[in-house]
Structure 1
Amino acid sequence: MSFRHHLLGAASVQALALLVASSALAQQSLPTIDVGAARGAARPGRATAARTVSTPRVTTPAGSLATSPNPDLAAAPGFSPQKLAMPVYRQPTGQTFTTVRGKDFETMPLVSVRELLQYSPGVSFKQGNGPRDIVVSIRGSSARNGFGVRNIVMLEDGFSVTQPDGLSRTDLTDPHAYAGVDVYRGPSSALFGNFANGGAINFRTRTGAEIDGLEYGAEFGSFGYLNNYTAIGKKVGNVDIAVFASDVRSQGFTLNNYSDTQTVNATARWQVTPDDLITFKFIHNQLYGLLSSRLSLNQYYLNPYQMGCYVSPQTGDNLTIFQNLCGTINVPRNGVNGVGAINQRSTPWLAGLQRNDRRDIIAARWEHDFDANTKWRTQVIYDDKDISQPTSNTAALGDEPAINASTDITKVGSLGNYEARHFAGLYFNRTRYTSWTLNTLPFGNGGTGAVQSVQNAMMQNLGGRGREEVALSKDVTMVLGLSAEMTKIAALQDAYTYYSADQRTGQRFGQLATWTGTPVNKTYWNFGPEASVTWRATPELLTHFRASSGYGTPNPGQLFVNQQGRVGANTDLKTQRNTGLDMGLDWKPYETLLFSLTGFYEWYQNEQLTQSPGAGLLNYTFNAPGSVHRGVETLLDWRPYDGVRLMANYTYNNQIFTEFVEQIGTATKTGYFDRAGYKIPGVAPHNATARASYDVPVGDFKGLGAFVEYNYQSSYYIDNGNVLTIPSFGVVNTNVHFDRDLDIGPLKRFTAYFEVRNIFDRTWVASANNISNSVSLVNGTVVQNGWWALAQNATGSIYAGNPRLFQGGVKFKF
C-alpha cells in the first residue's frame, strides 16, 4: 500500500461532522481545557527588551477536559503570565497536547488509568498482565507491547517514572490520586529524550491545598472488586503535604485472575524562602496478582473467560478438546530443560502463574529563582523495581534499581528584538541490574525450576537539551528545540541447558549440558530536533504546525537473541527513529464549545519488531527499515444547555510498512516475504469515545446526574502478513450519580455513584498481542499459511474484555 494523497480523507469528514451541533447558543461556560497546541494568548507588537514577569507558583485547579486558560490577547501564544509561571514541559508551546482533568471523573468508578486517558484523542489501550497494567499507546507507538508501556516517556508531577531501559508500567498508578493528566502526542525527544519517539504522559497529583482535609472513598462491584482509598492533605504556612493510599482487591472475570494491590503516593512542597521551593515525592506500590494465559482467536471465540480450564489432559482426544478451549503451558516436568527433558502440559491455575512485584520511588526537586525572570530546577530520583513473575513457560526474577538526575534553567528575556523564553538542561539516568530467567514448574504456587539464563546489565543515558520560544508578533510564536544524547549498554548473558531424565546419556540428572556466554557493549548517539509555529488566526482559532523527531534505543534484553532465533549477540540492532509533521487547530467560538482537529504524518526508520523466525526458535528483535504512521485526531467538548455536556474524540490511524522483507523459516528452509505496503499489525484504524451527560444544575435535586458512554474500536490485523484480524467492538456503559456539597458537622461533601459497564454484555477483545506468521514447505517452496492456521494455533495473544458488570462507590469529604 502507498501513501494516501489526502491525509484527512474520509476520517476527517467523519470528524468534521461533529461540528453540525455547534449552531446552538452557548448557555454555560466551559471550564478551561488544554487540547491541541499549548495556548497562551497574545501580546501586541515586538519586544524591544526583556519583559519582567512575575512567576508565582501556580497550582492548576481541578477543572474539566479542556484547553488552556482563557486567551489573554495581550500576550503572544505561550507568553501569558500564567503560562510563563509553569515549567516548560507542562504546556509546551506548539506541541500537540491534551490535558484531561480529574474533576470530570469524580462521579464514576476508576479502575485504571484508561478511564482518564480515553478522553484524549490519539490514545489507545490494551490490557496488559494484570488489572491495572494498561498498555497505553499514542498513535500506535506501544501497540506491539504485551505489557507495560514503551516508546512513551511517563512522568508524575514532573518526575520521570520511566526507567532508563525505557519501560514504564501503569500498575503503580491509582487514578483516584490525580488532579489531571497531560498527554504529549507525537515524537518528543527534544524535550523528553530517549524513548519519547511516540510522545509522553505526565500524571499530576492533587496538592494538599486542593485536598484541604480528609477524603475517604470505597468502590465495589462484580467479580469481587473492592477499592478502599483515602487522601489527606493540607497547606499550613509554607508547607503543603498531600498523601494518598489505596487497597484494591479483585477476583477477576477470567479464571486465575485474582489481584491484590496496595499503593501509597505522597508529595510534600516546602517553600523554604520566597526564592526556594523544595518538593519531595514518594511512591510505593505492592502488587500480587494471578495471571491467566492469552488465547488464540479460536479459543477466544469458544471460551473467552477460560471457564473450566483447571487441569489439562496429557494425551489423546481429551487433550485436543481441552486445547481448543483453554490456554496451556508446556514445561519440563521436573523443571530442568535440555537433553532428555520430559514436558508436562499444565494450566495457569495448576502452575499458579502470577506476578509479585514491588516498586518504590523516592525523589526530590529544588527550584531556585535567581530573579523574577530566571529559574533553576534540579531533581534526583531513585527508582527500584523488584519483580517475581512466573507468568508463562518461564519466570522472570530481578531487582532493578535506577537513578535519574536532571538540572535545567529557564529565563524569560529577549532574542534580538523579540520577546523570548530560553531553556537549557542536562540529564543523566542509569540502571544496573541482574535478572534471572527460570523454568516454570507445571504445578504449585508459581514454583520455579532450573535457571535458563542470567543477565547482568548496565544501561545509562547522558544528554542535554535546549529550547527557544520566540514571540514573533502578538499572534505568532516560534519554537526551536534540540536534544543530544549518548546511550551506553554493557551487559553479559549466561545461558544454560542441562541433562535431564534420559538415562541413556550416561549423564547425571541436572548436570550442565551447555553454557553460552554472550557479552554486549554498545554505545548509541542520538539527536532530536523540533520546530513549531503557533498562530492565533482569530481570537477564536488557534493553529499550529510542528516538525519534530523522536528516538528509542534498544534495551539490554533485545541484544541476546540473534536473527536465527538462537542465543547469541544481536548487536546490529539500531535505534528506531520517528520524524513527524503535525498540523492542527483549536476552535472555540463560544465558552461552551471547543473543537480540536490535528493531522499527523510520521516517518519511522528502523522500527523495532520482535517475533520468532520459525517453529521452535526464540523471539528476536530486528529493524524494519521503513514505515509510515499517519492519521487524524479530533476532539469535541460542548455544553449546549445548563447541565448538558457532550464529550467525544475520534482517532484515525493508517500505518503501513514501506520497506521491510521478513524472514520466516521451516525446520529445513527459510522464506523471505516482502511486507512493503502491508498494514502495521496491532494498530486499529478507528478509535472513538463519546459521552452524553446531564447533571441537575440547580434546585433540590442539584448534584443528581447520569451519563451514557460509548467506546468503539475497529478491527485490525495482528500479523505482519495481514492474514488474521481481530474483530471490532462497541461497548456501552451507563452511570447514575449524586454529588453534593454539604455542611453537616465535619462532612463537607458526599458523592455516590453506580455504573453498569458493557450493558449489552458484548464479548470483546481487550488485548491482542501480535503473532508471527507461520509457514509450510510446499514442493520445496516456503509458503505462508492462511488465516485458519493462525486462528487455531497462534496462542498467547488474546485477553477478553469484561462482560456485563456492576460497579458503584461512595465518597466522603471531611
Structure 2
Amino acid sequence: MSFVRQTLALPLTIATTFLQNPALAEERVGSTPLDDISVTATRVEKTLETVPAAVGIVQQEEVQFAEPQLGLDESLSKVPGIFMQNRYNFAQDLRVSIRGFGARSAFGIRGIKVIVDGIPETLPDGQANVDSIDIGSIGNMQVIRGPVSALYGNASGGALLIESEEPPETPFISLRPTFGEDGLQKHQLKFGGKADRFDYLLNFSNLTYDGYREQSGTELSALNSKFGFDLDGGARFSTVLNYTDSPKADDPGGLTEALVDEDPTQAWSRNLSLDSGEKLEQTRLGFVYDRPLGDSGELRVRNYYVSRDLANRLPIGATGHGILLDRFAVGGGAQYTHTAPLSGHANRLTLGVDLDRQEDERKRFLLAGEELGTKIQDQDEQVDSIGLYIQNEYSFSERVELTLGGRYDRLDFDVEDNFLSNGDDSGDVSFSRFSPSLGLRFTPRPGLNLYANISRSFESPTAVELRDPDGAGFNQELDPQVATNYEIGVKGRLGSKARYDLALFTMDVSDELVPFEIDDIEFYENAGESRRNGLEAQLVFEPVEHLIATLAYTYSDFEFDEFIDDSGNDFSGKTIPGVPENLLSADFTYTHPNGVYGQFTALYVDEIYANNANTVTNDAYTVADLRLGYTRFFGPWELSPFIGVNNMFDKEYNGNVRINAFGGRYFEPAPDRDVYAGLTLRYDFEG
C-alpha cells in the first residue's frame, strides 16, 4: 500500500490546493458525444445518423480522459460490435474483433482494415499492428461494423479509422507523466499549433511496464507527428511521420486452467526459460494531398512507406525458435469525388484506386541460449495488391438515399526460398474478388433514420497464415473466406439529450479461416460454412446536467454450419470460439464546470469457448474501472491531476483466450486491482 499512498499523494495535494482556490475555476471545453458528429469512415463525409451502415465514433475527450493509455480498448469498449482482448501482452499486441472477425488472430489484428491519418496501417496481406499507434495524440476513432471490402478491400469484419487531433490555433506545449502499479511509467511531451498556412502536432512518449505476470514487461518509445500546409486554390498537403522503438516486449504465454488457479502471475515455464518476446523498430511516413477540382470535384492522392524490423523469440520445439523479419511496405492511392445533381436530385460519385506492396525478408533459427543458432529457414516474401472501387450516393428526395458500390481486388503472394538444403519451397499464389454493396436510407422525420444494406466481403490469408503444415512455402489449399452480410438498422436522436443506434444483421461465411496448432506452431485451414446472427445497440444520453451515460450491448450468435477439419473432426453446429454471446458496457462520465471530472465504466463479458469443439470455456466476468480528475486554468497554464483504479472490485479473470491452443494453454490472466495516477501540465503561447 506504500506505493498507492505515494502514487496518490501528488495529484491529491495539487487537487486540494486548487479546490481551495475557486478563483482559478474555468469550464473545461471540448465536444461531447451528444454534439452533431460528422464521420468520414465511408470515404465521404456524412453525419453519423445518415450513414446507411453501422458506424461508431469515439472522440478525443473520450480517448484521453484520464486513461493510462496502454491500449485502444480503454475507450473503444463503449462501441457495440467490437470486442478486444490481450491489452497486457505487448508481444502479441491487442486483439480486436468486429462481429467475430479478428478473434482467431494469434497476434496483431486480422479481418479489420486499420487506417491512421489516411495511411493504411493494415498491410496488403491483411495483417495490422497497433503497437505503433500513439494513443496520446488521437483526435477520434471511427469504427465501421460489417464487411467493408467494397470500400477498403481485404477485410471481412469492418474498419477502424484513426485521426490525430487537430492542432489548435494557439500554439501549446504539454507534459503528461503517469505512474502506476506493476512498474507502470509513461511520459508524454506534446506540442503543436498553427502559423499562417502551416500547422503541426508532435507527440513523444515513453512507456516502461514490468507487467502483472512474469515475463510480461515492455519498453516502448514513440514519436508521432503530423504537419499540414494550406496551399492556393483550397488545396492541402499533409505529412505524417511515426517512429516506434520497442527494445523489449515480453511474452508470458498462455496457461492451463490448473496453472491459472495455482498462480495467475506466473508465465509458462518455456516462455520464461527461453525469454520469449519480441523487439521491434518501425518507421511510417505518409503523404496526403487534397485538392478541390472546380465547384463539384475533390481529389485525394496518398503515398506511404513503412519500414519494420522485428526480432522474435518463440517457445517452439526443443530449443525454441528465433525469427528475424525485415519488412518494407510501400503504397499509394487516388480518390476522386464528384458531387453534382443528377436528374434534378443530389448525387455523389466516388472513384478510386489503391496500389500496395509488402516485402518481407524472413529468417528462422534454432535458439542457442541467448543467441541465434542454426538457421532453418530463409525466404523472401512479396505481396502485391491492387484495388479499384466505385461508390455512388443518389438521393431520390431529402428522405430517401440509395448507395451502390463495388470494388475489385487482386492479391499476388510470392515466396522465394533462399534455404535450399532441404529442397526448394519457392512458390506463389493469387486471389482476386469483386465485392459489391447496396445500402438504402429512409428518414421519415428529422431525428429518425432507418437503413438497410447488403454487402459482400473477402478476407485472404496473410503471408504467415499461408504457412504450409506439410513444409515450407505457401499452403496452396488455403482459400480466402467470403462473407455476405444482410443488415437493417435504426439510428437517430431523442431531442437534444439522447442519441441511439440499433443494428440487426445476419451473415453467411464460406471457407472461414480457422486456426489450429501443431507443437505450438499455428496453422490455418478453411471451414466449410458458418452463420453469424447479431444485434448491436448503443444509447448515449444525458440523465442529468454534466453527466453523459453511454450504454452498449452486443448479442452474437455465431456458429459453424458445416465444418469437418483435416483430422476428420466434425464441428458442424458448434459455436465459433473466441467471441462472447453477450457483451455489455456502461460508461458514466461526469464533467463539472468547476473542473472536477470523473468516469465509471463497467464491462460484462459472457463466457467464451476456447476451442472448436466447445469443450473448454472461459468464465464470464464483469470488470469495473474508476477515474477521477480535476482541471484548473490560471492564465495560459492548465493543470489537470488525475487518478484511476482499474479492476476496482479485484475480479479474477482472463484478459485473453488463445483459440485452439496447444497443450491446453488457453488462458492469459489479467491484472488484479491496480492504481495509477498522473497529471497533465499545459501551457498556451497566447499572443
TM-score, normalization by structure 2: 0.90
2:305 corresponds to 1:382: yes
Q: Which aligned pairs between 1:344-493 and structure 2 lie closer than 5 A?
A: 348-393=271-316, 394-441=321-368, 443-444=369-370, 447-493=371-417
With over 3 angstroms needed to count, the CA separation of the structure-2 counterparts of 1:558 and 1:708, relative to structure 1, is: closer
Counterpart of 1:149 in structure 2 is 109
Matched letter for residue 654 of structure 2: V
With over 3 angstroms needed to count, the CA separation of the structure-2 counterparts of 1:478 and 1:425, relative to structure 1, is: same
Distance 2:204 2:235 in 1: 29
Distance 2:509 2:62 in 1: 36
Matched letter for residue 615 of structure 2: V
With over 3 angstroms needed to count, the CA separation of the structure-2 counterparts of 1:373 and 1:169, relative to structure 1, is: same
**Deviation at 1:705?**
2.8
Distance 1:293 1:426 in 2: 41
**Deviation at 1:89?**
6.9
Match of 1:571 among 476, 484, 496: 476
With over 3 angstroms needed to count, the CA separation of the structure-2 counterparts of 1:84 and 1:402, relative to structure 1, is: closer
Q: Which runs of 5+ in 2 are unaligned?
A: 1-28
With over 3 angstroms needed to count, the CA separation of the structure-2 counterparts of 1:289 and 1:568, relative to structure 1, is: closer
Counterpart of 1:289 in structure 2 is 249
**Deviation at 1:352?**
2.2
2:64 corresponds to 1:106: yes
2:621 corresponds to 1:661: no
**Deviation at 1:366?**
1.4
2:156 corresponds to 1:197: yes
2:664 corresponds to 1:794: yes
Distance 1:260 1:85 in 2: 32
Counterpart of 1:708 in structure 2 is 600
Q: Which moved more, 1:531-540 or 1:649-658?
A: 531-540
CA offsets 1:253-287 (integer angstroms, 9 cap, x no match): 11122211111111111112133211111011111
**Deviation at 1:493?**
4.0
Distance 1:174 1:268 in 2: 15
**Is residue 753–residue 809 contact of structure 1 (8 Å, CA) maintained in 2?**
yes
CA offsets 1:708-739 (integer angstroms, 9 cap, x no match): 22111111111111111111111121222112
Counterpart of 1:556 in structure 2 is 463
With over 3 angstroms needed to count, the CA separation of the structure-2 counterparts of 1:452 and 1:211, relative to structure 1, is: farther
2:662 corresponds to 1:803: no
**Deviation at 1:743?**
2.7
Matched letter for residue 202 of structure 1: L
Identity of aligned pairs, percent? 20
Counterpart of 1:65 in structure 2 is 33
**Is residue 409–residue 424 contact of structure 1 (8 Å, CA) maintained in 2?**
yes
Match of 1:327 among 245, 268, 289: 268
Match of 1:580 among 481, 485, 488: 485
**Is residue 34–residue 498 contact of structure 2 (8 Å, CA) maintained in 1?**
no
SS in 2 for 1:640: strand
Distance 2:95 2:519 in 1: 28
Count of residue pairs the alignment pairs up: 646
Counterpart of 2:613 in structure 1 is 721
**Is residue 483–residue 508 contact of structure 2 (8 Å, CA) maintained in 1?**
yes
Matched letter for residue 523 of structure 1: S
**Is residue 629–residue 653 contact of structure 1 (8 Å, CA) maintained in 2?**
yes
With over 3 angstroms needed to count, the CA separation of the structure-2 counterparts of 1:483 and 1:151, relative to structure 1, is: same
Q: Which moved more, 1:458-467 or 1:547-556?
A: 547-556
TM-score, normalization by structure 1: 0.76
**Is residue 62–residue 180 contact of structure 1 (8 Å, CA) maintained in 2?**
no
SS in 2 for 1:518: coil
Matched letter for residue 534 of structure 2: G
**Is residue 578–residue 604 contact of structure 1 (8 Å, CA) maintained in 2?**
yes
Matched letter for residue 696 of structure 1: H
**Is residue 41–residue 161 contact of structure 2 (8 Å, CA) maintained in 1?**
no
2:500 corresponds to 1:595: yes
**Deviation at 1:350?**
3.3
Matched letter for residue 426 of structure 1: V
With over 3 angstroms needed to count, the CA separation of the structure-2 counterparts of 1:725 and 1:617, relative to structure 1, is: closer
Match of 1:221 among 169, 176, 180: 180
Matched letter for residue 534 of structure 1: R
Distance 1:135 1:616 in 2: 22
Distance 2:311 2:41 in 1: 43
Counterpart of 2:546 in structure 1 is 643
**Is residue 202–residue 223 contact of structure 2 (8 Å, CA) maintained in 1?**
yes
Counterpart of 2:12 in structure 1 is none
**Is residue 92–residue 107 contact of structure 2 (8 Å, CA) maintained in 1?**
no
Counterpart of 1:52 in structure 2 is none
Distance 2:597 2:205 in 1: 26
Distance 2:357 2:45 in 1: 22
2:665 corresponds to 1:738: no
**Deviation at 1:641?**
1.4
Cα RMSD, aligned residues only: 2.2
With over 3 angstroms needed to count, the CA separation of the structure-2 counterparts of 1:87 and 1:238, relative to structure 1, is: farther
2:647 corresponds to 1:758: yes
Q: Which runs of 5+ in 1 are unaligned?
A: 1-60, 70-81, 307-325, 330-347, 497-513, 665-671, 773-789
Larger radius of gyration: 1
**Deviation at 1:603?**
0.9
CA offsets 1:66-104 (integer angstroms, 9 cap, x no match): 5744xxxxxxxxxxxx78999527769312101110213
Distance 2:65 2:104 in 1: 33
Counterpart of 2:78 in structure 1 is 119
CA offsets 1:378-411 (integer angstroms, 9 cap, x no match): 1101011110111322222111101111011101
**Is residue 153–residue 162 contact of structure 1 (8 Å, CA) maintained in 2?**
yes
